[in-house]
Amino acid sequence: MATIKIKQVKSGIGQTVRQKRTLQALGFIKMHQTIEKEATPQVLGMIKKVAHLLVEVK
């Protein structure tokens, strides 16, 4: 399956608890961290929920 690289560019501070937990579930620990995930429907849905905090890396 295809993979996607994403980077956290905005902080989870001030966001809802649900969004903070979504960031944790994706594997983000700190700001400006880049991670690579498989592009499954579950992961894409989580990315969509916190898209305002993330950017896709090419």
Domain regions of the chain by residue span: 3-57
The model's pTM is 0.91
Quick one: three-class SS letters along 17-56?
HHHHHHHHHHCCCCCCCEEEEECCHHHHHHHHHCHHHEEE
Reply yes or no on domain 3-57 having CATH 3.30.1390.20: yes
pLDDT of res. 5: 97
Residue pLDDT, tens place only, 1-47: 899 999 999 999 999 999 999 999 999 999 999 999 999 999 999 99
Q: Residue 51: is it exposed, middle or buried by C-beta count within 10 angstroms (0-12/13-18/19+)?
A: exposed
